Every structure is written in C-alpha cells, then in structure tokens.
C-alpha cells in the first residue's frame, strides 16, 4: 500500500508538470500575441531602421586571444535561444511518449494521425501552387502549428472548450513539432561539415553514455549540451536540432526511487520525533534544521531529472524566448497589400496551406481514423470541436517564421512569407474562435445511484 502511495505521488508530480506546462503555454500565448503586435508596430514606425540595425549588430564573446566567437543578435535569438525552445519541445515530446497523451498506441494514434494530416495537406497545397518556381523550397512553412499561440487563443474561451480538446490540441501540436523537427533536420540543412557533425555525434553518444551510466546531475548534461550546440552550429545541420538530441539524453529515472525515498523519509521523521518539537522550532534547534535539510535534499533527488529540467525551462521558454523570437522576427513592414500577397503563388500557397490545408488534413484524417477504428474521440468532443481546433492549428507563427528563415535568403520572399503567415494565422484564429464559441461540449450521462 505504501509503495502504491509513493508511485501515486510520482504520477501526481508528472500530472502537475503537464498541467503547469498547459497553463504556461496558455499564458505565454497571450504574451506572444502582445509581442507580435509590438513588433509589427515597431516595424512600421520610425523605429524600424534602428530595430533592424540592432538585429544585425554582432555580439561577440572573446574567451581567449585565440578563440573569439560571435553572432548577430538575430542569430543569437534564432540559433541560440531557439536551441532552448527546441530542447523544451524535445523534453515535452519525451514526457508525452513516456507517460502522457502519446504513451500508448490508443492515446497516440489520434493526435499523430491528426498531426500527419495537418502536415501533409498544407505541404501539398503549397507545392501545387509553387511547383517549378523558386519559392517551392518553402513547402515546409505551412506545415507547422504554434502550440503557444494556439493554446493562448483557445484559452480565451475558458470553460466553453472541453478540457480534453485542449489536451488533444497539445498532443497534436507536440506530434506536429516532432514532424517539423524531422523536416528541418532532413530538408533544411546544407553545406554539411562532416567533421563538426561527427564531433556533435560523439558528444551525443557521450551524453547517452552518461545517462546509461547512472549520472543524474543536470549540470553535466547542460555543459555537454552547450558543446553539442556549438558543433551543430558549425555542422550545416541547424543547431536547434541539437536541443532535441540533448532532450533525448536527459535521464527519466530519479536519483532516488520511491522505495528508498519512503525508507529515508521514515528515518527522518523518526529522528525528528526525537527532538523537542513541542518547545523548539528549527530556528532554535540545529538538529531539526539538519533533518529538514536532509528531507528537502531527498525530495529533490526523488524528482526525475527530465521533469526538473522541463519545469525549470518551461517558464523561461514561454515568457521570454518565444516573445523575444516574435519581437525579432514579426516586425515586418506591411507595405504590401493582402491582394498583392495573394496574387503570387508563394503567399497564396502559405495562406491556403495554413488556413485551409490544416483544417482539412486534421479533420479528414481524424474522421478516417475514427471510422476505421484505429482512433477514438473523447466523449465530450464533437466533430465541430475538431473542425474548430483544426482552424486554430492553422496558426503556424513561430515554427513557420523559423522555417521561412531556413527556406529563403531573398528579402522579398521572406517579407511575403511573413505577411502571409501573419494573415493566415489571424484568419485561422478568428474563424476557429467563432466555431468553438458556438459549439457546446457534449453532455455526458450522469452516473446513476443504486
């Protein structure tokens, strides 16, 4: 019974991590909206020139006389801070696969199937408009779903949206992130340096060896992650992929298992009872302070390193990295009309890919999965919820802007892509909100008393 209670405590900690992640992503999504609007205001004001000059300034680290390392501010954000973004994404994916909504075939198939449809249809729509043109390389742009933005938007509806739909959206977006990561790694890498890639691979293997060898201290994994990032930065494979690889090496098992934690806790309580707890408090009693310190230390050791790292970075990711990324990348000058954007194959492919392809792919693949019996919707979710969620998933933003930078070097193409992403995301958000606002959750049958 005691062992069951300890295991339940661990599961509660994992569930709390998932709930915290959901709350942070929702609040972070609202902050992201504010950062996007601020970037657009700056990019279309008298501050636009100094804003772009700041992004092009180089920030240099001089470690020794023989080793100086520098990147532009924009590169530090897109290649440096986004490394942490992808690390958190990797940790989320790993957690969901181990104990969350992707932990079993039955749980995972619906979001994976929906995510697959939500990636295939937008890519096909984009390709159909851009085949044979210079812009065809941007086919990955409309494939992505922005989890922070999507949850921020859907969070505006509060209790009008079933909790299970939010969970499904999170699982779908995480599966979608996994697909986007693979696309970036395979199709948006160039000029490979096999030396640096080999060195990065060696560091990755070393970190895995540390995990298998029982090392739990996150300091060594963090230090190795910095080295891994540097090697990937020079390898030709985008350095943010190093964040995902680092996440795969982070230990899942805690330094202290539940059985040992139970035994040590009992010993600490027994020792505490021997002190004069009735008359003295920890400030007055050195022995009590030592015991309480040992309890806190054991408690920290009983938490899985993966969840500790995710909890430590999720807030920084949601409240700093993603808004800063938006500030650096969304400040596009709106000197091209929507008509002008949609008159070209690039803009039309992105807008229709995100605004139409996402909802078509997610809805159709979910429907087929249900009909053939390989996946199942929660009882509280209607098909109109899936359709509304499919529209919300058309908010590509962060990943779409990120892939734009990888796909194109031409400034006009980048500008058109950014405007198209912003327009498609806005339309998807508005239509999705309207659909979900007027869709009530199913009333579940009440349990009868006997």
**Pure H helices in 213-357:** 218-233, 240-249, 258-273, 286-301, 305-316, 322-329, 338-342, 345-352
Report the relative pairing of strands 58-64 and 67-72 from DSSP bridges.
antiparallel
396 contact partners, CB below 8 Å, separation of at least 6:
141, 142, 143, 144, 145, 146, 354, 421, 424, 425
Distance CA 275, CA 424 (A): 66
CA 188 to chain centroid, in Å, comes to: 19
- What are the tokens at 265? 């806790």
Q: What are the contacts of 130-133 at 24+ separation with CB within 8 A?
A: 130/345, 130/346, 130/349, 133/345, 133/346
Distance CA 371, CA 325 (A): 41
pLDDT in tens, 139-150: 999 998 887 788
For residue 401, count CB atoms less than 10 angstroms from its CB and return exposed for 0-12, middle for 13-18, buried for 19 or more.
buried
What's the CA dihedral at 387, 147, 370, 108 to 10 degrees?
A: 180
pLDDT in tens, 197-255: 999 999 999 999 999 998 989 999 999 999 999 999 999 888 888 998 999 999 988 87
pLDDT in tens, 373-422: 887 777 888 899 999 999 999 998 888 999 998 999 999 999 999 999 99
- What are the tokens at 439? 């869709």
427 contact partners, CB below 8 Å, separation of at least 6:
351, 355, 394
Distance CA 313, CA 227 (A): 19
With contact defined as beta carbons under 8 Å apart, do 332 and 418 qualify? yes
What's the CA dihedral at 118, 167, 31, 397 to 10 degrees?
A: -10
- Give the domains, in start order, of the chain with CATH numbers: 2-189+238-254+303-437 (1.20.1530.10), 257-302 (no CATH)
Percent of the chain at pLDDT > 90 equals 41
Distance CA 54, CA 327 (A): 12
CA 371 to chain centroid, in Å, comes to: 30
Does residue 450 carry a pLDDT above 50?
no
With contact defined as beta carbons under 8 Å apart, do 381 and 172 qualify? no
* Single pTM value for the model: 0.78
With contact defined as beta carbons under 8 Å apart, do 342 and 348 qualify? yes
- Tally of CB atoms within 10 A around 190: 9
Instruction: Return the H-helix or E-strand segment holding 58.
Output: strand 58-64
- What are the tokens at 105? 């075939």
pLDDT in tens, 330-371: 889 888 888 988 999 999 999 999 999 999 999 999 999 888
């Amino acid at each position: 019974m005691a062992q069951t209670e300890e295991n339940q405590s661990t599961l509660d900690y994992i569930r709390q991590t998932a709930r915290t992640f959901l709350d942070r992503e929702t609040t972070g999504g609202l902050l992201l909206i504010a950062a996007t609007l601020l970037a657009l205001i700056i990019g279309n004001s008298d501050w636009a020139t100094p804003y772009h000059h700041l992004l092009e300034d180089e920030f240099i680290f001089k470690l020794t006389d023989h080793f100086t390392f520098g990147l532009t501010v924009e590169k530090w954000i897109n290649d440096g801070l986004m490394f942490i973004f992808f690390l958190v994404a990797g940790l989320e994916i790993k957690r969901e696969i181990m104990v969350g909504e992707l932990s079993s075939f039955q749980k995972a198939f619906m979001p994976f199937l929906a995510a697959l449809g939500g990636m295939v249809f937008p890519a096909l729509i984009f390709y159909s408009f851009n085949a044979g043109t210079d812009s065809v390389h941007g086919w990955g742009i409309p494939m992505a779903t922005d989890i922070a933005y999507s949850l921020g938007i859907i969070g505006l509806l509060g209790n009008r949206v079933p909790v299970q739909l939010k969970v499904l959206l999170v699982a779908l977006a995480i599966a979608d992130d996994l697909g986007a990561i693979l696309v970036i790694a395979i199709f948006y890498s160039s000029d490979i340096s096999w030396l640096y890639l080999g060195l990065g691979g060696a560091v990755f293997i070393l970190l895995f060896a540390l995990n298998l060898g029982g090392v739990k201290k996150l300091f060594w994994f963090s230090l190795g992650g910095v080295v891994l990032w540097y090697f990937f930065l020079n390898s030709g494979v985008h350095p943010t992929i190093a964040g995902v690889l680092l996440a795969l090496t982070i230990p899942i098992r805690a330094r202290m298992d539940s059985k040992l934690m139970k035994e040590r806790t009992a010993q600490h309580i027994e020792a505490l009872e021997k002190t004069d707890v009735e008359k003295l408090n920890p400030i007055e009693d050195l022995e009590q302070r030592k015991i309480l310190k040992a309890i806190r230390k054991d408690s920290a050791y009983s938490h899985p390193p993966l969840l500790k790292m995710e909890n430590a970075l999720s807030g920084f990711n949601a409240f700093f990295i993603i808004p800063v990324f938006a500030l650096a990348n969304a400040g596009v000058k709106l000197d091209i009309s929507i008509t002008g954007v949609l008159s070209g194959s690039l803009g039309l492919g992105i807008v229709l890919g995100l605004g139409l392809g996402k909802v078509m792919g997610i809805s159709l693949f979910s429907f087929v999965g249900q009909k053939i019996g390989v996946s199942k919707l929660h009882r509280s979710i209607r098909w109109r919820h899936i359709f509304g969620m499919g529209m919300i998933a058309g908010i590509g933003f962060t990943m779409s802007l990120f892939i734009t930078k990888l796909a194109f070097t031409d400034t006009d193409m980048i500008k058109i892509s950014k405007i198209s992403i912003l327009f498609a995301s806005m339309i998807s958000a508005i239509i999705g909100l309207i659909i979900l606002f007027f869709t009530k959750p199913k009333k579940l049958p009440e349990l009868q008393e006997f």
